[in-house]
Every structure is written in C-alpha cells, then in structure tokens.
Amino acid sequence: MKAIAVFASGSGTNFEAIAQACADGRLQARIALMVCDVPGAPVIARAERFGIESFVFNPKSYSGKAAYEAEIVRLLDAHDIQLVCLAGYMRIVGPTLLQAYGGRIINIHPSLLPSFKGAHAVEDAVAYGVKVYGITIHWVNDQLDGGQIIAQRAFPYEGSDPAEVHRQGQVIEHQLYVETIAKLLQ
C-alpha cells in the first residue's frame, strides 16, 4: 500500500474525499500523514475521525519557511511518503520541500490553468465573465500554479456567484483528485 501525505489549510473536503477513497478501497493507498499550517482548522478533526496522523504547525513559530519545511521533509521521509497531495494548502511550496520531493508533489486548483492562477481564481474568473470553469490538477514546481498539467475537467456556469462556482467545482474536485491520484500511483 503506497503512502501519501495530504497538505491542507482549511475545511478539508478534498482531504476527506481522498481519505474516504482510501478507506473504501477506491484508492489503493493510505494517507500516512496530514499536514496543516492552521492550528484549529476543521481538516484536523476530519483527520482524527479517520485515525490519520497529523502534523499541525504555526509557521510563525519557526524562523522561516526553510525551517518548517525541513521539519515537514523529516516527517515525510519517516513515513516513506511517495506522493504529496496539496488539497487547499494555502502556502507556496518553497525550495526545501521542492528539493526533497520535487516531481512527487501535486496540487488541485479551481480554474482551468494556465488561466486564473492564485488564491482568488474563482473570483477572478467570475469577474472576467467566463462561461466555462474548471478544475486542474498539476505538478508543483517553483512557479505559482505553473507546473505541468496532469488532469483538467471543465463545467459550464453562466451566473455570477463565486460561491456557486465553488460548490459545483468541489463536486468535480472530489472525483477528479481521487481518479488522478489513483492513476499516478499505478
């Protein structure tokens, strides 16, 4: 059974979709570690419900990104992690983590990259007036949302409510991320 790590900063719906897929056998892997940079984030309780070990840290407690990423790398190595899945992890991955796990980190993003990079992709797309939205899964590199695209799925929406776009997108995210992780681990 391949060991994966999931990084999250918030509610953890993608984390839960991945954990559930592991639990019910749709994903032949186990989440060996959940990493969260927001003490008290709801994803922590989700990990506890699944019995998954968590590393929760406050970035301000470290001297800098290199210091907390070095600790994360030690934990990933200790758990023999083969794939890191960013699932709403709202930090830019730095050189320390990229040097150790480059080529083994993927991210899910709520737009059809390369359009609408960054933390406000849905809001930016709505403001622009697009009629087709989507989800992208890509390899993580040293550029914000700039790694090679692995998978994408589009959906139409002609309204102007970012919350509705997020709601529709999450349904797709939960399916596409599990499918993509399964393919990458084969």
Question: How far is the C-alpha of 14 from the C-alpha of 109, rounded, in Å?
Answer: 11
Question: How far is it, in rounded angstroms, from Cα 186 to Cα 183?
Answer: 5
**Residues with a known catalytic role:** 109
Tokens encoding 168: 């529709």
Give the span between the Cα atoms of 180 and 186, in whole angstroms: 10
d(CA 174, CA 170): 6
Q: Are residues 3 and 32 in contact, defined by beta-carbon separation less than 8 angstroms?
A: yes
